[in-house]
Amino acid sequence: MKSKDIVLNCLSRALKTDADSIPLNARLETQLNIDSTEIIGVLVDLEKALSIKLDDTCFSQLSDVSSLIALVDNRLSQAQEA
């Protein structure tokens, strides 16, 4: 499964909605109404699903769904290099 699908699945679990209905350009805070506590839950869910470690403070860099996918891809690359 691609990282994009895993991110969308984690978001769909948090939002209680279908993964297919989440647009990649949707703004996390203003369009999906995800608050800072909810995003921590999503990050922990992603850590479990992908066996990676995400920095709790990285949510401040996140704007939309694509930026979350990019963050996960970046961490996966770093993990492979290490």
Partner 1 sequence: MLNNVVITGIGFVLPAGTGNGEQLQACLARPQAPETSVSEDILRPLIAERLWDKIDDFCRYALAAATHAMQHAGVVPQEEDMTRFGCFVGNTFGGWKFTERELQKLYTDGARAVSPYQATSWFPAAVQGQLSLAFGIKGFSKTYMLDRASALLSIICAAEKIADGTLDMALAGGAESTNTLFLREVLSGMKGRTIVAGDDGNEAALAVSEGSVFLILESEEHARKQQRRIYGRLCGSGMANYPSLPDTCCEDMTTLIKVMEKAALPYTPGMIYPDLSGNRRADHAERAAIEFLWPEAKVSHHKAVTGHTFGAEGALEVALACTALSTFPPLPVLINSRASGGMCVSLLVQKEPS
Return the number of the residue (37 or 57) whose C-beta is nearest partner 1.
Answer: 37
In the complex, the smallest distance separating the C-beta of residue 16 from partner 1, rounded to whole angstroms, is 4
In the complex, the smallest distance separating the C-beta of residue 75 from partner 1, rounded to whole angstroms, is 15
Q: Which helix (H) or strand (E) holds 80?
A: helix 65-81
Binding footprint of partner 1 on the chain (CB under 8 A):
14-16, 37-38, 40-41, 44, 47
Strand partners, 27: 64
Return the number of the residue (2 or 47) whose C-beta is nearest partner 1.
Answer: 47
CA distance 79 to 26: 27
Return the number of the residue (6 or 43) whose C-beta is nearest partner 1.
Answer: 43
CA distances from 46 to 1, 6, 42 (A): 13, 7, 6
Cβ(19)–Cβ(11) below 8 Å? yes
In the complex, the smallest distance separating the C-beta of residue 7 from partner 1, rounded to whole angstroms, is 18
